Amino acid sequence: MVEILESWEAFVEHVKYCRWVLFKAEEQPGEAVRLRVRAGSFGFDRVLNRKEADERLSWLRTIGAVKVLASVPDAVFFS
C-alpha cells in the first residue's frame, strides 16, 4: 500500500530518509503531465502543468530517482 501525500514539500522532506525514489511521468491532454513518485511507503500523484512537471522532474534527476517504464503483475512477468 502506498500512502499518497497531499503536499509536495512534505514528500520532499520524506525523500531525505529513503534509499530509492521511483517516478513515472505520463503525458496528459493539453500541456499537462501526470507525475507519480514513490519513496518508501509514501507517494505523490498529481496532474501538473508542463512548467511545474519539468521543475519536479529536474529535481528528481538531481537526486538520482529511477524512472519506472511500466508495471506488470508477478505472474505475467516471466510468462
CATH number at residue 61: 3.30.720.90
**C-alpha grid cell for residue 10?**
512534505
Q: What range defines the domain where residue 48 resides? A: 3-71
* pLDDT tens per residue across span 40-63: 999 999 999 999 999 999 999 999
Domain contains 37: yes
Tell me the mean pLDDT in the region 15-42.
96
Q: Within the chain, where are the H helices?
A: 8-15, 50-62, 74-77
Tell me the mean pLDDT in the region 14-36.
95
Domain contains 41: yes
Q: To the nearest whole number, what is the mean pLDDT of the chain?
A: 95
pLDDT value of residue 1: 94
pLDDT band at 79 (very low <50, low <70, confident <90, very high): confident
Tell me the mean pLDDT in the region 4-25.
96
Nearest to 34 by CA among 45, 22, 23, 21: 45
Domain contains 31: yes
C-alpha span between 42 and 28 (Å, rounded): 23
Number of domains in the chain: 1
CA 38 distance to own-chain centroid: 5
